[in-house]
Structure 1
């Protein structure tokens, strides 16, 4: 489900640069462990190149106070709530890893290694009451996740960010891509 992730500028130079770009643009993204509804750093389309902003993580839910934080990559094009945002407002969550909980309620942190490497998660955003809010995409789990959880984030490589944001054909095909193998640590 990917209900929390890390954004650690003090432990990762690339995340520090992304954080600074957000701050320089007047935003104050949450650092450390990021929870649903937090203001989070995101990479979105700019006029000539991508830009870093911050916005609330989660679309308004069906009940007051509820937030929808994830969308299944397999159905985003068909679901009314997500289809237009996927087509017109794709974004990327820069993180230093994400958390999942096992059925036994054990918390695990996932990344490419045990170090806080940069991990990019695909998503989209929309405007609600004129304020932007974002969701991230999940997909079928691979071998590195399946024993812990039945979903995993849709993970991009750094060199795929521009294509995800600007190239509709790439974004549509990427929704069904196999995900990279990850390493987990018990928390």
Structure 2
């Protein structure tokens, strides 16, 4: 689920601003098709304000070079590996859209028309530095014909609340997801 996504800041003004803020913060974030381990633009809480940063996507796994790129919203508060980071260091991934593959290995792009997609996540500090992870939920009617999971999407107006309010973030884990446009990729 959500093994890649699209970040094309030149296409959407608000994503362009996020990209510029990441660059201004000294973060060289990936644009175009973003893969696990790429340094991605993320929106974080910093000194009780919303800020833009960049960090690699994926927690180090339990085996060698394995990466854990997604966490299930249904169990994030019950897994020791995720629980504290979700409570303390949430982030939001800005995207143009995200990709899913069907059983025939056909790739599809899901978007919110010409609007940016904001995805809930969190990050954690490891000895190798900060690493981020995407929260997933059960697929809605837009995504379910292709895949059974999807990212936990967040309206732009709720970004600050999600980042700063742990109770809101916990309650949001069960939110209904909006309808999405689907594109052959």
TM-score exceeds 0.5: yes
Q: Which runs of 5+ in 2 are unaligned?
A: none
Q: Which runs of 5+ in 1 are unaligned?
A: none
Tell me the secondary structure at the aligned position of residue 50 of structure 1: strand
Tell me the secondary structure at the aligned position of residue 155 of structure 1: coil
Paired with 2:23 and 2:137, the residues of 1 have a C-alpha distance of 31
Paired with 1:152 and 1:166, the residues of 2 have a C-alpha distance of 23
TM-score normalized by the length of structure 1: 0.97
Paired with 1:174 and 1:20, the residues of 2 have a C-alpha distance of 29
Q: Which runs of 4+ in 1 moved over 4 A?
A: none
Q: Is the 8 A contact 2:48 2:164 kept in 1?
A: no
Work out the number of aligned pairs and report it: 185
Tell me the secondary structure at the aligned position of residue 146 of structure 2: coil
Q: Which residue of 2 aligns with 1:6?
A: 6
Q: Which residue of 2 aligns with 1:89?
A: 89
Paired with 1:103 and 1:151, the residues of 2 have a C-alpha distance of 13
Q: Which residue of 2 aligns with 1:126?
A: 124
TM-score normalized by the length of structure 2: 0.98
Q: How does 1:106-145 map to 2 (within 5 A)?
A: 106-113=106-113, 115=114, 117-129=115-127, 131-145=129-143
